[in-house]
């Protein structure tokens, strides 16, 4: 099992590891087919680089599924450092890791030095005012940027009673724009600028693909 976890930590996305985790995620998540005692029957088990069957059997299904999600994030372009920062911020603010990754993917495509024409900076594309509000002194620092962006996202999730689409509208266009345009539910998305409409749809598509 150490070989699998080492590969995930290093951002290794080789096909054999992907295949193995796909098989494990499907079998454990769906509740049928292979069970924990049948791991050695999985075709992909033979290509996992020396993982022992005994060590795999000691893992819970939740641990394996978590490992699978981490790998999925790496496939989309993140790194071990970004994954660690996302996990830390997600735990601190109670925000789904997959949602944070989805925002990063669509905001900056995992480019920590990205700068938009409007002046948004870093992985989660923080504006200068956001940096000031959230205590971010270096928006190009991975940990600071993700900490600030997740804090901002959490604020919107609380403001809109956990509604992800509404929170994404505010994250992209600002809560003032949401209010001025009379947006009170996801059904009012059409009232937002076209850019925001597309943004929400793209982030939600990425988010659903990671669940």
pLDDT in tens, 44-56: 444 444 455 555 4
Higher pLDDT residue, 5 or 165?
Answer: 165
Which pLDDT value is given to residue 13?
Answer: 43
Active site residues: 107
CATH architecture of the domain covering 94-210: Orthogonal Bundle (1.10)
Q: How confident is the model at residue 76 (pLDDT cuts 50, 70, 90)?
A: low
Is the pLDDT at 179 greater than 90? The verdict is: yes
Which pLDDT value is given to residue 211?
Answer: 84
Which pLDDT value is given to residue 78?
Answer: 75
Cβ neighbourhood burial of 205 (10 Å; 0-12, 13-18, 19+)? exposed
The DSSP code for 51 is -
CA-nearest of 30, 120, 162, 13 to 76 is: 13
Whether the model pTM is above 0.85: no
Q: How confident is the model at residue 187 (pLDDT cuts 50, 70, 90)?
A: very high
DSSP-assigned letters across all residues of 116-133:
-TT--BTTTTB-HHHHHH
Ranges in the chain annotated CATH 1.10.530.10: 94-210
Nearest-angstrom CA–CA distance, 51 and 154: 38
The whole-angstrom distance between residue 8's C-alpha and the CA centroid of its chain comes to 15
């Amino acid at each position: 099992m150490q070989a699998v976890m080492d590969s995930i930590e290093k951002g290794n996305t080789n096909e054999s590891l992907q295949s193995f985790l796909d098989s494990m995620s499907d079998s454990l998540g769906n509740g049928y087919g292979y069970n924990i005692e049948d791991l050695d029957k999985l075709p992909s088990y033979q290509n996992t680089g020396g993982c022992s069957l005994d060590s795999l059997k000691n893992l819970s299904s939740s641990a394996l599924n978590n490992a699978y999600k981490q790998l999925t994030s790496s496939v989309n372009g993140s790194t071990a450092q970004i994954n660690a920062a996302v996990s830390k911020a997600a735990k601190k603010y109670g925000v789904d890791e997959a949602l944070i990754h989805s925002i990063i993917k669509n905001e900056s495509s995992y480019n920590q030095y990205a700068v938009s024409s409007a002046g948004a900076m870093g992985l989660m594309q923080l504006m200068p005012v956001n940096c000031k509000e959230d205590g971010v002194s270096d928006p190009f620092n991975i940990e600071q940027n993700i900490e600030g962006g997740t804090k901002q996202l959490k604020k919107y999730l609380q403001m809109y009673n956990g509604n992800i689409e509404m929170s994404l509208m505010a994250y992209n266009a600002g809560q003032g724009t949401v209010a001025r345009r009379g947006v009170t539910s996801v059904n009012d998305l059409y009232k937002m600028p076209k850019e925001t409409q597309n943004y929400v749809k793209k982030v939600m598509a990425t988010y659903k693909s990671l669940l």
